[in-house]
Amino acid sequence: MLFISLYFFDFGVNMEREFIMIKPDGVQRGLIGDVITRIERVGLKIIGLKMLQLTKKMAEEHYAIHKGKPFYEGLIEYITSGPVVAMVVEGKNAVKLTRKIVGATNPLDAHPGTIRGDFALEIGRNIIHAGDSPENAKIEYSIYFEDEEFVQYKKIDEEWIYE
């Protein structure tokens, strides 16, 4: 694992990890494949992936920043209402790139071509969650993944993706 990390630093590539969750509405609507395809097509590498049912404790930990807000209880109820797909991706500027692919939180403000712009109509059913900074992504993916669960590998197309 250390060798792979040094490989990226030797070439000056600023690799980041990002947490992405396909929410219950995305899973129920059969959009898992569409979301993963969009993530992979831009060159991000999936290093952790699992489907799970969030417990109330996990949801409260994930959304602790929103505790006390009017929508908090509904959010917890919704996010625990069905299975989700949690993933960690890795790539150069992964957080910023993912946020662009995902689109604005409110689908009415999301541009066509983004996940939310193409697949969502309501802010409370907006298909996907993505961390808003490398630091928050780490906090979030630590709720769902142990470091040992990440698979480190070099994709054959990386030399064609990164300068």
Q: What pLDDT does residue 13 have? A: 55
User: What residues make up the domain containing 16?
Assistant: 2-153
Q: What pLDDT does residue 9 have? A: 38
CA distance 41 to 68: 38
Residue 157 has pLDDT above 90, yes or no: no
Confirm if 87 and 46 have CB atoms less than 8 A apart.
yes
Across the range 66-73, mean pLDDT stands at 95
Catalytic residue among 62, 66, 111, 129: 129
Domain annotation covers residue 78: yes
pTM summary value: 0.89
Confirm if 88 and 48 have CB atoms less than 8 A apart.
yes
Domain annotation covers residue 99: yes
Please count the structural domains in the chain: 1
Domain annotation covers residue 20: yes
Here the CATH number for the domain that contains residue 41 is: 3.30.70.141
Domain annotation covers residue 160: no
Mean pLDDT of the chain: 91
Residue 11: CB atoms within 10 Å = 12
Is 62 part of the annotated catalytic residue set?
Answer: no
Residue 156 has pLDDT above 80, yes or no: yes
Instruction: Give residue 138's identity as a one-letter amino acid code.
Output: K
Domain annotation covers residue 159: no
pLDDT confidence tier of residue 59, bands split at 50, 70 and 90: very high
pLDDT digits (tens, 9 = 90+) for 92-105: 999 999 999 999 99
Q: What pLDDT does residue 85 have? A: 98
Residue 2 has pLDDT above 50, yes or no: no
pLDDT digits (tens, 9 = 90+) for 18-28: 999 999 999 99
- In DSSP terms, 40 is beta-bridged to none
CA distance 114 to 38: 9
Higher pLDDT, 31 or 2: 31
Residue 76 has pLDDT above 80, yes or no: yes
